[in-house]
Amino acid sequence: MLTLLVVLGVGASALTARTKETAARKSKDDASGDVQREHTSVFEQQRNTVSNIDFWTTNYGIFGFDVRNGRGGTFWPRGRGNQYIFAGGAWFAAEKRQPGTETYRRRVMITYNPNSGLSWMVPGTIEDGKAPITSDAGIQKYRTYFSPDFSVSDGADRYNPTYPKWPIWDSSPNDTLRFNNYFGNYISDVGARSKSISPKGPAFISQEDIFAVYKDTDLSQYEGGVARRQAEGFPLGFQIEQTMYSWGFGDYGDILFLKYNFIHPASFADTLKNCWMAAVMDVDIALQNNPIAGAQNDRARYYNEEDTLNLAVQWSNATAGEAGRGFGYLGFNFLESPAVDTNGFMRKDKRKFPVTEQLGLRTMRNWPITFDPLENEDRYQFMSSGQTDGDDGPGDRRLLMATGPFNMRPGDSARIVVGIILATTAGGGDATGTPEDMAELIRKVRFAQSVYNNNFIAPRPPDYSAIRAVQGSNVAFNFPPEGWLPLNNGVAFQWDSTSEMSVDTLERGLDFIGYRIFRARRLDQDTFSVDNRPNDRRGPLGWKELARYELASPFLKSNIIEPKESVPLDQFQIVDPITSSTQRSVLVSKSLSGAIPWGTYFSNLLNQRTDQLVRGSNGQLDRSRFIKVDSIQFTTFEFAKDSLPLVQIENNPQNATTFGLNRNQEAAARDSLVQLILAGKVKERPFIFNEPITFKNQAGGDSVVIVPSPWDETFEVRSTLIAEFMRRVTSGRTFVDYGDDNRDGRVDYDANPEKSEKLINNIDYYYAVSAVDEGDYFLPSPRKLNGRISGLPNVVKATPGGARPGDRPSFTLNL
C-alpha cells in the first residue's frame, strides 16, 4: 500500500507531495540524536528531549511526524530506531448551519489528514485574525514551547531572553495548581506573562510540558480550495490549545499525555450540533530504515477484555525485520471527554467530571489506507458510527478514537485527553497479540490512568541547570555566554544553580542532592562501556561519568532500605506515647546530621534553646516550646487504617528512651511503623514554615508574598545552605576536563580513540551536568537523575582546540 504524504517546508508555506516510499528512500538515519531548537518560520516542527518516547511535533496540529523529511517521527525507546507512529493529529466533526440557510450540514475539520499528510491548521490565536502572523514577533510568540527551555521561577526563555516567556501561568488566584483539573491558563498577551500580574508564577506540570496554539480560520490551508470550503460553511471556528505532558524516568518515561482543548470563541455565532472529537493516528510499527515493508504487517484492535480502560492496542507481526529487535505494544488510552446535559449541551457545573458522567470513548476505528474516508459526510459517519473494531489482520493501519455527540454554543470549550503508552511484551519476545502477552501494557495503562486521575501529579528530577556563563561568579575562567572554553586537548565549562533551587512538592527528601558530570562522543550510546554493545546502546564513546558532587542528607540514614526503589530510611524514634489502637498519627524525631553544611547550621539553632522540652498534661511534648530546630527534627507520620502497639511513658530512666518512653514498647512500635512505611501506608506531615518571598510588582516596587513550605523546600535551605555548599565544592560550578578520567595524574594516549583518554583537538565532545535528588521512601520513588539529551540546557557540545603557533589563548584567567 502506498500512502500519499505532503511535506510542508518548515521555512515556507509551500507544499510538496511525497509518498512514504519516496521519503524512506531519501531519508538517512541520524545517529547523533542532536537536537537544536530554532524558531525561524511560521510553520515549524520540533523534537522532544525528555521522554523515553522520542517524537516530532508541530505548531499546527501534526503530531509524531518528521514533516521536514517526510518520514515517521515517533520512536520507542529513545534512540533505538524502533518506529511506532508515522504521524497523527485530531479531527473535529459537527453539524453546522449552511451559509444563507437554516439547513445543518455535516462538516469535519482536521489537523492531520492521513491520506495526504496535510494539516488545515495555522499557528496562532483567533484574536489575531484568520491568517497566521508572519512577522518575527508572531513566529516567536506562536512557536512550539518546551518547558525545559524556560526558567521555572519567572518563565523566561533560557536561550533567547528577548523571546516571549512560557505561555501557561498559574493566573487564577482561587485555584490550586494540579488540583481539581486546574493546570494553569494560557496567557496570550506576552506582556502579561509576568509575576507582577500572576504572582504564583508560570505553571509547569510535568518534566517536559509541550505547548502550541493553532486555529482553523485560514481557508487557504484547506484541501479543496477556499471557494469550495467557504461555501460549505468552513471554518467551524476553533482555536486549539494543544498540550503534552511527559517525564523521563521509570514508567512515567513510557507514557505521553496528549491534551486537545477545542475553543469555539463567542465571535463565531453558530451553535455547533452533534459534535464529535477524535484522535487520529497513522500507526506504522517498523524499523526506522525499513518503514514501508514494516508498515504492512501491523495489527490493531479495541481491547474489549475490559471496556472501562477505553483502550486501543497495536503491535507488529514482526515479519519485516522487526523480529528480535525489542518491539512491544502501543496503546492509546482515552482518558477524558466532555460531559453533557439532558439536551446534549456541554456541562459547565464542574471543572472535572468523573468518568461515569463523561461521554467516553464511543468509536474506535481500525482501517487500511484503501478505506480512508475522504469527504465530510464519510468522515462524519466514520467518527460517529459507534463501532469498536477488532483485529482485522495485518496491514498498514490507521486508528481513530472518537467521543460524542455533544452541542457547543459560542464561547464553549471541549477537551479530550489521550494517553500514549508503550510497553514490552510479557513474554520478552515478539508480540503475539494475546491478552496475556499484553500484561505489561495493561499495567502501564492502569498506571497512566492513576497519574491522570491524580491531576498529573508525579515525582520529578531536579530542574535542569543551564551550561552558560554566570556573571559575578568569581571563577578562574572568563567564560563566553555559551558557557564553555576550548583548551589544548581539554575543555572547561560552567553551569548555573537552577537545579539546586528545585522544588518537588509531591516528594519528601531533598529535591536536589548533587551533580554528576558526563562526557560522550556519540549520542546514540546511552552509557559508557569498554566494549561496543550497540543493541544495548553502550560503548566506549557513550556517556561516561567523569565526576560526582553530592552533599549528605540533613538526617542520618538507617540500615533499612526500601526494597522497590533502594532508598534508605531515615533514623527516627517515636517521641509521644501511643495510647490507643485508633491513633492514626505519631510524632517522631529524626537524627540530625553533623555533616557539612548541616552540622554547623543545626548547632547554631540548638544554641538558641532557652527552655527545655516538657510534656503537657496529655503526655505529648509541648509544641508551644518548640524552637526552629524542633520543627525540623520532629515530624509527624500518618497512617490511615493500621494501628501501632501501645507505647507508655517510662519512669525508670534505665528502661527509657531519650524521650522518656518505654524502650521495648517504643522499639516494637517503631518496627511496626517501619513495616507500614515499606508497605507504602505512611505519609509524612512535616512542620510548615511561612517564608516571606520578595518579588517585583507591576509598578516596579517590591511586594512580599508568604509561601508555606516544609523546611527542606524553603529558600533558606536551597539558596543559603545547598547552593553555597555546591558553589564551594564545584569551584564555582565549573569543570575542567583534560582527559584524566581515572584520576591517576596521567593522560593515556592510544591511536584508537575508543581506548584513549586524551581529548583530541577539533573533535566534538558532549558534556552533561545531570542533577539528582534524594528519592522518597514514602511514595516510594527512586533517586532521579535528570536527562542528558542534546537540546536540553544542561548539555553542551564543546570542542577542544589548542592555539596555533603565534596565536593568543582564547580565554583569560582571573588570578
pLDDT at position 6 is 29
Strand ranges inside 386-469, DSSP E: 397-408, 413-423
Residue 181 has pLDDT above 60, yes or no: yes
> Do the Cβ atoms of 329 and 430 come closer than 8 Å?
no
Q: Which residues contact 578 (CB under 8 A, 6 or more apart)?
A: 586, 644, 645, 646, 647, 669
Cell, residue 661:
518512653
Summarised one tens digit per residue, pLDDT across range 448-457 is 999 999 999 8
pLDDT band at 528 (very low <50, low <70, confident <90, very high): low
Is the preceding peptide bond at 410 cis, omega within 30 degrees of 0?
A: no
Give the residue-averaged pLDDT of 6-13: 31
Please state, rounded to an integer, the average pLDDT across all residues of the chain: 90
Buried-exposed string 87-97: b where 16+ CB fall within 10 A, e elsewhere: bbbbbbbbbbb
pLDDT at position 245 is 98
C-alpha to C-alpha distance for 432 and 422, rounded to whole angstroms: 15
- For the chain, state the CA radius of gyration: 29
**pLDDT > 70: what percent of the chain?**
92
Q: Quick one: CA torsion of 443, 402, 89, 21, rounded to 10 degrees?
A: 90
Summarised one tens digit per residue, pLDDT across range 220-273 is 999 999 999 999 999 999 999 999 999 998 899 999 999 999 999 999 999 999
pLDDT band at 532 (very low <50, low <70, confident <90, very high): low
pLDDT at position 529 is 63
Residue 10 has pLDDT above 60, yes or no: no
Buried-exposed string 738-750: b where 16+ CB fall within 10 A, e elsewhere: bbebeeeeebeee
pLDDT band at 506 (very low <50, low <70, confident <90, very high): confident
C-alpha to C-alpha distance for 235 and 506, rounded to whole angstroms: 43
> Do the Cβ atoms of 459 and 722 come closer than 8 Å?
no
Residue 146 has pLDDT above 60, yes or no: yes
pLDDT band at 198 (very low <50, low <70, confident <90, very high): very high
Residue 811 has pLDDT above 50, yes or no: no
> What is the CB neighbour count within 10 angstroms for residue 419?
24
Give the residue-averaged pLDDT of 716-722: 95
Buried-exposed string 457-483: b where 16+ CB fall within 10 A, e elsewhere: ebbbbbbbbbbbbbeebebbbebeeeb
Dihedral sign, Cα of residue 730, residue 736, residue 742, residue 745: negative
For residue 663, give the H/E element and its range.
helix 663-678
Q: Which pairs with CB-CB distance under 8 Å and at least 24 residues apart come from 700-708?
A: 703/196, 703/199, 705/199
C-alpha to C-alpha distance for 627 and 610, rounded to whole angstroms: 9
Summarised one tens digit per residue, pLDDT across range 646-694 is 999 999 999 999 999 999 999 999 999 999 999 999 999 999 999 887 7
Q: What is the pTM of this model?
A: 0.81
Give the residue-averaged pLDDT of 559-581: 94
pLDDT at position 527 is 64
Residue 340 has pLDDT above 90, yes or no: yes
Summarised one tens digit per residue, pLDDT across range 722-770 is 999 999 999 999 999 999 888 888 898 888 877 888 999 999 999 999 9
